[in-house]
A and B are shown apart, each in its own frame.
Chain A
C-alpha cells in the first residue's frame, strides 16, 4: 500500500487532488502575498490540478463495486493509532468532483469580482484552504479525520465571511457563523466519542456496516446518531441553528457562492450521506431529522418571501433546499438527496454568481433598486438568473425539477401523508420566492427610470475597458454553470447507475414512481410562479406580496420568526442573568466562603504548628518525602 503509492495511479490522483490547494495556500501565504497576480495564478492552477484529478478519478472509477480505502498511520503513541488516509467510493468521488468543478469556476469568476481588492492574494490563499479542507473532508476514511477537516472548513469559512474585517458587521457575521456552528459541533463531537467508546474505532466503513447494530445498544446508537445529527444541523444551517447563514453573506459574493453550493453547508448533508446506513439503523433519529428538515424548509421559505436583499433571499433558499435534501435522505431515499445536492450545487452557485455581477455593477443588494437601475440590461447574468431560479423552483426541463421530484417520490412512499403535503407546500413557496425577485428586477415599476437607466448605459459604454474585461471574465463561469443547470437533470439515470453500488448491501428499494407526482409538483411550481407574476410581474401590479398585506405575518417573517431575538433573550436572561447570577452567588457564598474558611483555617493551624512550619521550601519537600514513605507503608503492608 504505502510502498507502492507512487505506482498506484488512483492514490496518486487522490493525493494530488487534495494536496494541490493546500500547497498553493502555503505558497501564497509564505511567499507570494505581495504579488496578487502570481497568487491568483498559483491558486487557479492548483484548483485546475484538483479539477483534472477529480474528474479523472470519477471517470476512472465509474463502475466501482467496492470502496477503495488507503490508510497509513498518522499519529501513534503506545497503543493509540490514529490512521490517516483516503476513502474512495461513489459518494465521495461525486462530492469531490462537485467541489472541484464549482470551486474552479468560482475561482475564475473571482478574478473579475475581486480585481483590485487590497486583500486579493489573501483571498486566493483562503479560498485554496477552503477547497483543501472540503476535499479532504469528502475523502476522509475515519470520523476523526472527517472531524478535523470539518473544523477546518468551519475555520476557513470564518476567515472568508469576515474577509472584509474592517467592516464591523462582517467580522460579527464571521464570529456568529463560527460560534453557532460550534454549538452543533460540540454535540457532534460527543456523538463521535460515544461511537468510539462503543465501537473501538471510528472507521466510516465500520460505522456504515449493518452489523454495528449488534455492537452498540440500540438506545446508544440512537443517542449518538442524534448527537451527530446536531453537527449536521449546525453546519447545514437547519432549525434551530439557521440564523448564521443569512448573515454570512457579509463576505464577498463568490465566497457565498462557494459556501452555499458545495462546501460549508453541503458538508452537513454530505456527512449524512456518508453515514446514511448508520442513521438508517435508528428510526427515531431519522424521524427527528425529517421533522427538522421540514421545519427549516418551511421557515426559511417564509423568510425568503419577504426579504428585499437579493443575497439574503438566495441564502434562505439554500436553507430550504438543504431542508429538502435532509427530508429526502431521512425518508430513506439515498439517491434523491445525493442528486439534489449535486444539482443544487450548480444552480445555487449560479444564482450567487449572477447576484454578484449585479452587486458588482450597481453596488446595491436591494432588489427594487437593482430593478430600477436596469439590471435587465445585463443580458447574460439576467438570463442565467432566470434559468437558475427556474431550477430552484423545480420547473420542468431544468435540473431542479428532476431531483426535487425524486425527493417528493421518496416522501410519497412514507406512511404519513403529512410530510408529502409539507413538501408540496414547500414546492409552491419555493417557486414563489424564487420568482418574486426575478419579476421585481426584470420589470421595474417605474418604466421611466428604466428608460433612464438604459439611456445611461451607453454612457457607461466608454468606461474603462478593464470593467468590460472583468465582466466578460465573470460571464464565462456563468455560462458554464447555466449549461450544467440545463443539462444535469438528464444525467439522472447515469448518476443513479453510478451510485447504485453505494450501500447496495442495505437493499434500499428502488424509488417507486408516482405518475401523478410530476404533474402535481410542476403544477404547484407553475402556480407559485404565477402568483409571483400576478403580484409583481404583470404591468400595473401592486408589487406587494400577499404576505405583506398581513402585517403580523410580515413582521414575523422579516424578523426571522424572532429567532435571533429569542437567542439574544435566552442569552441575556438565562445565561447572563440566571446562570451567571447563580454562579456569582456560588462564587460569593460557597467558593469565597470556603476559600476564606480554608485560609483562616490554614492560618490558625499554621500558628499552631508554627514551631515546625517556617514557610521554607525544604520543609515542603520534606513533607512530600514523609508522606511518600507513609503511603508506601500503607500500600505495601
Chain B
C-alpha cells in the first residue's frame, strides 16, 4: 500500500495552485508559460493516480496526450515570446497592452 488517493489529489491541487500563482502574478512572459507547464504536470499526476486507483489504463493513456499537448504548447508559446521580444525588446506582459 502507498497512500490514500486523496493524498495524490492534494498534491495535484497544490501544484496546480502553484502553477496558477506563477502564471498570474509573475510579470514575465516566460513565467506564464512555465506556470502552464506546472499546471499540466499537476493534471498528469492526478491522472496517473486515478489510473492506479481504478486499475484503468485510460488515465495513463491520457497522460501521453497531455505530454504531447504540453510539447506543442511550449514550442508555440516560446516562439510567440521570441517574436514578441523581437518586436518590443521586452518580456514584461504589461508592455503588451495594445488591446487596452
Contact = CB atoms under 8 A, between A and B. Distances in A.
A618 B93 contact: yes
B69 to A, nearest CB: 16
Nearest to B28: A618
B100 A621 contact: no
Contacts of B20: 621, 625
Interface string B65-100: 000000000000000000000000000011011111
B7 interface: no
A625 B19 CA distance: 11
Interface string A610-621: 000111111001
Contacts of B23: 618, 621
Contacts of A415: none
Contact of B100 (A615, A618, A622, A625): A615
B24 A616 contact: no
Contacts of B97: 614-616
Contacts of B32: 617-618, 621
Interface residues of A, number: 9
A618 B23 CA distance: 7
A617 B27 contact: no
Contacts of A618: 23-25, 27, 32, 93-94
Contacts of B99: 615
Nearest to B29: A617
A618 B94 CA distance: 8
Interface in B38-76: none
Interface in A583-629: 613-618, 621-622, 625
A613 to B, nearest CB: 8
Contacts of A616: 93-94, 96-97
Contact of B98 (A615, A622, A625): A615
B84 to A, nearest CB: 10
Contacts of B98: 615
B24 A625 contact: yes
A554 B25 CA distance: 82
A633 to B, nearest CB: 15
A615 B100 CA distance: 4
Nearest to B17: A625
Contact of B24 (A614, A615, A622): A622
Interface residues of B, number: 13
A618 B22 CA distance: 10
A614 B100 contact: yes
Contacts of A625: 20, 24
Contacts of A617: 32, 93, 96
A617 B100 CA distance: 10
A400 B42 CA distance: 73
Nearest to A78: B58
A621 B94 contact: no
Contacts of B100: 613-615
Most buried by A among B24, B25, B94, B96: B24
Most buried by B among A613, A621, A625: A621
A615 B99 CA distance: 6
A294 to B, nearest CB: 55
Nearest to A625: B20
A615 B97 CA distance: 5
A559 B96 CA distance: 64
Nearest to B100: A615
Nearest to A622: B24
Contacts of B94: 614, 616, 618
Contacts of B96: 616-617
Nearest to B23: A621
A615 B20 CA distance: 19
Most buried by A among B25, B98, B99: B99
A615 B93 CA distance: 10
Contacts of A615: 97-100
A427 to B, nearest CB: 63
B63 to A, nearest CB: 16
B54 to A, nearest CB: 16
Nearest to B92: A616
A14 to B, nearest CB: 34
A75 to B, nearest CB: 16
Contacts of A621: 20, 23-24, 32
Most buried by B among A613, A618, A622: A618
Interface string A14-56: 0000000000000000000000000000000000000000000
Contacts of A613: 100
A617 B94 CA distance: 8
A622 B96 CA distance: 16
A625 B98 CA distance: 23
Nearest to A606: B100
B29 to A, nearest CB: 8
A614 B99 CA distance: 9
A213 B35 CA distance: 57
A618 B97 CA distance: 11
B35 to A, nearest CB: 9
Contacts of B24: 618, 621-622, 625
A616 B93 CA distance: 6
A527 to B, nearest CB: 72
Those 8 A-B pairs whose CB atoms lie nearest each other, nearest first: A615-B100, A615-B97, A617-B93, A622-B24, A615-B99, A621-B24, A616-B94, A625-B20
28 contacts: A613-B100, A614-B94, A614-B97, A614-B100, A615-B97, A615-B98, A615-B99, A615-B100, A616-B93, A616-B94, A616-B96, A616-B97, A617-B32, A617-B96, A618-B23, A618-B24, A618-B25, A618-B27, A618-B32, A618-B93, A618-B94, A621-B20, A621-B23, A621-B24, A621-B32, A622-B24, A625-B20, A625-B24
Given A614-B94, A615-B98, A625-B20, 6 more contacts: A614-B100, A616-B96, A617-B93, A618-B27, A618-B32, A621-B24
Interface of B: 20, 23-25, 27, 32, 93-94, 96-100
